Amino acid sequence: MAKRINLQGNQACALGAIAAGCTFYAGYPITPSSEVAEAMARELPKIGGTFIQMEDEIASMGAAIGASMGGLKVMTATSGPGFSLKQENLGYASGAEIPCVIINVMRGGPSTGMPTRPAQGDIMQARWGTHGDHAIIVLTPASVAECYSETVRAFELTERLRVPVVVLIDEVIGHLVETVDLDALKPSRLVTRKFADGPAEGFEPYAVTDDMVPPFPRPGDGYRSHTTGLTHLPSGFPTQNPSKAEAALVRTTDKLDLHADLIEAVEVAECDDADVVIASVGISARAGQAAVADLRSKGVKAGLFRPKTLWPFPEAALKAATKGAKAVVVPEMNQGQMVLEVERLLKNKSVHGLGKIDGEAITPAEIVTRVTEVLA
Amino acid sequence: MDNFEVRFSGSGGQGLILSAKFLSAALMAEGYNVAQSQSYEPVSRGGLSRSDLVVSKGQAAFPLSRGLDYLLILHGAAAHASDGLLSKNSLVLVDSELVPEPPKGDFTLISLPFTDTARKLGNKRVANIVALSALVARAGLCPMAVLENVVRTKTPPKFANLNMEAFEAGQALALQDA
């Protein structure tokens, strides 16, 4: 039975989170992400969940982490200035391997920038915003339906892998309303973290397991555990022993490589015979999709490469999709962030950026013009 | 019509996004897929405000406007903000009082007293409903009964009568002009 509704991207994130089993939200409203908080405030009480409006973004991130350490599926949402504030605690969640989902609806920056205008300026911050080498996963929905389904996937990944997952949305997609079939989006299964169920005696909260994801000790189940942002041993206690410290850190980053098949997700369209591939995310990728159709109608063989998982960057998929292409164009609402990664991976290809930071979305016509220049 | 684009534009606080939501709901009920976007300033009143609908029977690749089939302008602040998206097939409706200098060009322009009609009904804030009703009646975007049902069911009881009067008045305006 189709349940067609007109749904907003931000609201879709909230409904997706609840469908994925999220029962705790702590946040501090900020344009253009506030509708996520509004929807969670409305929906969570209906299922016995907890919504807290905290005093700021730092505390919101802390509260979400604390609730996750209590065993709940948790989420927070914010935009640029708030995302900056969350970075310290986000690093803690990464280091201590505490599952959490962070929605970041990107607006113009830096600082308070342009609150109601779209941007994609947090592409690098989402990967490297917190200090130190750390594991993080970043998903980039490009439609309202994907705001829902990628938030569901964010919960699956964060619970399965104990890595913080950022759902990175631009203001256009966050505030876009599209007709969706809600029933078709409902997840068919619920993924919940692996809780410790072995003997309590000798339990190690950061044990090295085959899947590199330590079973999570649920408070009250009788396991003694120690959680710290300091580099720690399998016992959970700090170490500065060089080989043990390195092994502990490398496990948290290597687990992403081990589970790459689970994490990676891309859309590849019409790249088989493409002379030019447009590589992009979010609303810019939707413009790219329209530009591909326009270019094809003019006889230009164009294709689209769209990471749904932006970080870790889908390296092999990009190389495969651009194998026969003469040029790659990377439209993004910033001065050139994703293009750096594409250049790094495609050293022998002609890679061209298309940046825009005026607070307006990139149009299909602008991409067509850039492609035409590049191929000339 | 399988695909068309509509823009509601004016000044923040005029209820443009609400009008767009009402039309989106009516078009969805008629089987269309709707992409509704909006742009506004970080202020609660004033500034340029607009909401766009990209309507299709299938799935729209790009959900933002590329060329407007229907444009409503309720305030002078938005008079020329959409000039680049107009073509000879465009139908442009403007408020005769608040848009004294409407866009000029090779398209159909209709100037109607939306705000004045609303004021005579007792509240100029329902100019958005007068204009929505007039636009849909004039352009035949969906059956009026479908839109009327949306406006009726989505309006808080306190404003129900006023909004329905505005709806009727907008339809009458469009028919008088035609």
Q: pLDDT tens for residues A197-213?
A: 999 999 999 999 999 99
Q: Which residues of B touch A363 (CB under 8 A)?
A: 64, 66
Average predicted confidence (pLDDT) for chain B: 95
Option in B25, B34, B66 nearest A178 (CB): B34
Q: How distant is the Cα of A365 from the closest Cα of chain B, in angstroms?
A: 9
| Per-residue pLDDT at B178 | 64
Distance CA(A94)–CA(B77), nearest Å, equals: 48
For an interface test with A, the pick among B37, B49, B87, B142 (most A C-beta atoms closer than 10 Å) comes out as B37
Q: pLDDT at residue B177 above 90?
A: no
| Across A19-24, average pLDDT | 98
Q: pLDDT at residue A1 above 70?
A: no
pLDDT level of residue B46 (50, 70, 90 thresholds): confident
Q: pLDDT at residue A131 above 90?
A: yes
**Contact status of A79 with chain B (Cβ, < 8 Å):** no
What CATH class has B3-177? alpha beta
ipTM entry: 0.94
Distance CA(A267)–CA(A281), nearest Å, equals: 10
Average predicted confidence (pLDDT) for chain A: 97
Domains identified in chain A and CATH numbers: 4-185 (3.40.50.970), 267-375 (3.40.50.920)
Interface touch B62/A286, C-beta < 8 Å: yes
**Contact status of B128 with chain A (Cβ, < 8 Å):** no
Interface touch B61/A289, C-beta < 8 Å: yes
Q: pLDDT at residue B63 above 60?
A: yes
- Element (H or E) spanning B118, and its range? helix B114-121
The sign of the CA dihedral A64, A68, A72, A74 is: positive
| Per-residue pLDDT at B82 | 96
Distance CA(A195)–CA(A108), nearest Å, equals: 40
- The radius of gyration of chain B's CA atoms, rounded to the nearest angstrom, is 15
**Contact status of A6 with chain B (Cβ, < 8 Å):** yes
| Across A16-41, average pLDDT | 98
| Per-residue pLDDT at A106 | 98
Q: How distant is the Cα of B25 from the closest Cα of chain A, in angstroms?
A: 7
| Per-residue pLDDT at B60 | 82
Structure tokens at A241: 């022993």
Structure tokens at B3: 């695909």
For an interface test with A, the pick among B34, B43, B64, B87 (most A C-beta atoms closer than 10 Å) comes out as B64
Say what percent of chain A tops pLDDT 90: 99
Q: pLDDT at residue A278 above 60?
A: yes
**Contact status of B43 with chain A (Cβ, < 8 Å):** no
Distance CA(A272)–CA(B23), nearest Å, equals: 40
Option in B21, B32, B63 nearest A286 (CB): B63
Interface touch B40/A116, C-beta < 8 Å: yes
Q: Which residues of A touch B28 (CB under 8 A)?
A: 4-6, 179
Q: How distant is the Cα of B21 from the closest Cα of chain A, in angstroms?
A: 9
| Per-residue pLDDT at A160 | 98
**DSSP annotation of A100:** -
Say what percent of chain A tops pLDDT 70: 100
A/B interface, count of CB pairs below 8 Å? 62
| Across A299-324, average pLDDT | 98
- Within 13 Å, how many C-alpha atoms sit on residue B82's CB side? 38
Distance CA(A29)–CA(A38), nearest Å, equals: 8
Q: Which residues of B touch A270 (CB under 8 A)?
A: none
Interface touch A115/B42, C-beta < 8 Å: yes
Residues B2/B32, Cβ–Cβ less than 8 Å: no
Lowest mean pLDDT among A39-53, A289-303, B25-39, B42-56: B42-56
Interface touch A361/B64, C-beta < 8 Å: yes
Residues A91/A130, Cβ–Cβ less than 8 Å: yes
